[in-house]
Amino acid sequence: MRNIIIDTDPGIDDILAILFALKCEALNVEALTTVSGNVPVEIATKNALKILEIANRRNILVASGASRPLRKDQLTAELIHGKDGLANMNLSEPTIKKVNLSAVELMKERLLKSKEPITIAAIGPMTNLAILNILYPRVFSQIEEIIFMGGAAFCPGNITSGAEFNIYVDPDAANLVFNSGVKLKMIGLDVTMKTILKKDKIENSNDFGGETYKFFRRLINNALEIIPQSMEKGGIALHDPLAIGACLSNDILKYKEYDLKVETEGSEGLGVTLVDDRSWSQSKKNAKVAVEVDNNAFIDLFLKTLRK
Stretches 88-96, 126-134, 186-194, 238-246: which one binds Ca ion (CB under 5 A)? 238-246
Stretches 6-14, 65-73, 251-259, 279-287: which one binds ligand RIB (CB under 6 A)? 6-14
| 108 lines the binding site for ligand RIB (CB under 6 A) | no
Active-site residue among 81, 185, 194, 239?
Answer: 239
Count CA atoms closer than 13 A to 166's CA, side-chain side: 30
Residue 226: φ, ψ to 5°: -100, -30
Stretches 55-63, 162-170, 255-263, 272-280: which one binds ligand RIB (CB under 6 A)? 162-170
Q: Which is nearer to Ca ion, 132 or 167 (CB)?
A: 167
| 149 lines the binding site for ligand RIB (CB under 6 A) | yes
Torsion angle, CA of 221/227/232/237, rounded to 10 degrees? -60
| 244 lines the binding site for Ca ion (CB under 5 A) | no
The CA distances from residue 42 to 176, 232, 247, in Å, are 25, 27, 27
DSSP-assigned letter for residue 163? -
Considering only residues 21, 31, 120, 123, which one is a binding residue for ligand RIB as defined by CB under 6 A? Answer: 123
| 158 lines the binding site for ligand RIB (CB under 6 A) | yes
Considering only residues 2, 5, 6, 14, which one is a binding residue for Ca ion as defined by CB under 5 A? Answer: 14
By CB under 6 A, the residues from 29 to 58 that bind ligand RIB are 37-38
239 in catalytic set: yes
| 124 lines the binding site for ligand RIB (CB under 6 A) | yes
Q: Which is nearer to Ca ion, 9 or 30 (CB)?
A: 9
State in angstroms the smallest separation of the CB of 247 from Ca ion.
15
Nearest to 99 by CA among 164, 163, 52: 52
Nearest to 173 by CA among 138, 122, 208, 209: 122
Q: Report helix, strand or coil for 73.
A: coil
Identify what 164 binds: ligand RIB, Ca ion, none; CB under 5 to 8 Å per kind: ligand RIB
Stretches 82-90, 163-171, 267-275, 293-301: which one binds ligand RIB (CB under 6 A)? 163-171
| 123 lines the binding site for Ca ion (CB under 5 A) | yes
DSSP-assigned letter for residue 102? B
Contacts of 132 (CB under 8 A, 6+ apart): 104, 107, 108, 139, 140
Nearest to 105 by CA among 63, 158, 155: 63
State in angstroms the smallest separation of the CB of 12 from Ca ion.
9
Identify what 165 binds: ligand RIB, Ca ion, none; CB under 5 to 8 Å per kind: ligand RIB
208-211 CB contacts, 8 Å cutoff, 24+ apart: 209/307, 211/54, 211/56
Contacts of 244 (CB under 8 A, 6+ apart): 6, 17, 20, 21, 24, 27, 121, 123
Cα separation, 180 vs 264, in Å, equals 16
By CB under 6 A, the residues from 222 to 251 that bind ligand RIB are 239-240
Residue 8: φ, ψ to 5°: -145, 155
Size of the site for ligand RIB (CB under 6 A): 15
**Chain residues in the site for ligand RIB (CB under 6 A):** 9, 11, 13-14, 37-38, 123-124, 149, 158, 164-166, 239-240
**Chain residues in the site for Ca ion (CB under 5 A):** 9, 11, 14, 123-124, 240
